[in-house]
Structure 1
Amino acid sequence: MSKSTKQWYASWFDTPYYHILYKDRDYTEAQGFMDNLTNYLNLPEGGKILDLACGKGRHSVYLNSLGYNTTGVDLSEQSIAYAKQFENETLKFKVHDMSKIYPDTFDAVFNLFTSFGYFEDDNCNLKTIEAIKAELNDFGFGVIDFMNTNYVIENLVAEDVKTVDDIDFHQKRYVKDGYIIKDINFEVEGEHFEFQERVKAFTLQDFEDLFEKAGVHLLDVFGDFKLKKYHATTSERLIMIFK
């Protein structure tokens, strides 16, 4: 049996199986979100964007194709090694811990698709907000796109099996100690693997508390990728614009 003792996101995200399980994500919808977001923020032509927790860089690549000078950073060395094939003069990828300040300033810092709330140490969540604040130039905007935990918990599917590339991923979901947790186990060529995803069940109020401590100001809150109004019980997303 293979079960990692590293922080879950450091081990799981660096496996090929993570990318297999989630290979069918709707990137057309994601690109529409980027279009809506950059238009709403009215970012300057050729503006600088920092994509925090960029994974393999697909969204950074798209933002760069829209004309933005984009830097993608992620803790996963394997993901960044993969993303580097897309680099050009205005698109760079670096291994970086988002709870630490990146040594540059930007017109926008994006943290997309629930890439927040992974840390075991609550202080790291505050440090991440403080780092985003430090990474914004005088006219810059921070964006955190998180799940709406109220909606997710209400609609949680306790257990299912998802088959991708002939691998049966057994998934169990539950809420424990303030985290939304997914246990994932599967077999490949006779070897058993177990991984766990743990995301802090932050509410809008929790984020507002973090923002206050970090000294940033919440400007707008949206409930989906089309930037419709946020509703605490029915919105699927919690998208926050701040500076």
Structure 2
Amino acid sequence: MDWFEEWFDSPLYEKLYSNRDEAEAVQLVELLIDELELNKCSKILDLGCGRGRHSINLNKRGFSVKGIDLSRQAIKTAREKVEKMGLDNIRFEVRDMRNPLDESFDAIVNLFTTFGYFESDEENASVFDSVVKMLKPDGIFVLDYLNAKKVRESYRPSDSGEFQGIHYDIERYISNGSIFKEIEFSGERVNGERTYSERVKLYPLEWFQEEMAKRNLVIDHVYGDYEGHAYDPETSSRLLIISHLKE
């Protein structure tokens, strides 16, 4: 079992990240709509949608949205949110992003570093093959990724804390071109100790430029944050790539 299959389905994942910034998700969606004229698109695929934060915000703005994720627990949570909110024209499905759907979309978004999880560069690049098979000609592909250079230079080696009576310790390190995060939970509520891992490949902008060009994905804009500032490898918090599929 890959690390993401085990960790993302764990109830401890939802508890640890329960306070993820909804305002940040709204800000990103606003950028996509206002700056990139995404309002011209009617059907959007959220590739690696997690618990549905961005899918729901896109749907609230009037888009038809489908979210896919490999985590059954994530999809279950996303469906529960939608049902509770009474939203229409939004669907969620358990699916591997490497396997394209038999549908086409006006735009595909891959947000909040839901990329670089696979062991090899070839596997990670295969996500682009999946994208081009599902994207309509001239359709938009958005990839929101970490700024690898800044991560290498400023990551925090360790963190610790508590929530709901559960203690956690986080260790971070870089090895073989990836950033690793080892998370250990302890306390009576977890019956001893449990350990999970995260691993994300640290790709520079040049890698994306090369791999996307091979697949006729033309990069139009590269932003460095959710406010729409230009990307700077030294200082930017994000690497936000906007591209379209060349006809």
Please give the range of the TM-score, normalised by the shorter of the 2 chains. over 0.9
Shift of 1:39: 1.9
Which residue pairs with 1:11 in the alignment?
A: 6
| CA 1:128–1:46: 2 relative to 1, 3 Å | closer
| CA 1:46–1:219: 2 relative to 1, 3 Å | closer
Shift of 1:134: 1.8
Contact 2:147/2:239 (8 A) holds in 1: yes
Which residue pairs with 2:236 in the alignment?
A: 235
Alignment of 1:1-243 (within 5 A): 6-44=1-39, 47-85=42-80, 86=82, 88-189=87-188, 190-243=191-244
Give 2:151's aligned amino acid. V
Find the residue that maps to 1:30 and give its secondary structure: helix
- 5+ residue gaps, structure 2: none
Contact 1:113/1:145 (8 A) holds in 2: yes
Find the residue that maps to 1:103 and give its secondary structure: coil
Shift of 1:46: 6.8
Contact 1:106/1:136 (8 A) holds in 2: yes
Shift of 1:122: 2.3
- 5+ residue gaps, structure 1: 1-5
Contact 2:160/2:169 (8 A) holds in 1: yes
| CA 1:162–1:210: 2 relative to 1, 3 Å | farther
Contact 1:49/1:68 (8 A) holds in 2: yes
Q: Deviations over 1:175-204 (max 9, x none)?
A: 000100011101142321011100001110
Shift of 1:155: 1.1
Give 2:52's aligned amino acid. G
Give 1:91's aligned amino acid. I
Contact 1:43/1:107 (8 A) holds in 2: no
| CA 1:215–1:46: 2 relative to 1, 3 Å | closer
Shift of 1:89: 4.1
Alignment length, in residue pairs?
Answer: 238
Shift of 1:56: 1.3
Between the aligned partners of 1:67 and 1:197, the Cα distance in structure 2 is: 34
- Using the size of structure 2 for normalisation, the TM-score is 0.92
Between the aligned partners of 1:158 and 1:57, the Cα distance in structure 2 is: 29
Shift of 1:81: 1.9
- Using the size of structure 1 for normalisation, the TM-score is 0.93
Shift of 1:174: 0.8
Shift of 1:15: 0.4
Contact 2:162/2:168 (8 A) holds in 1: yes
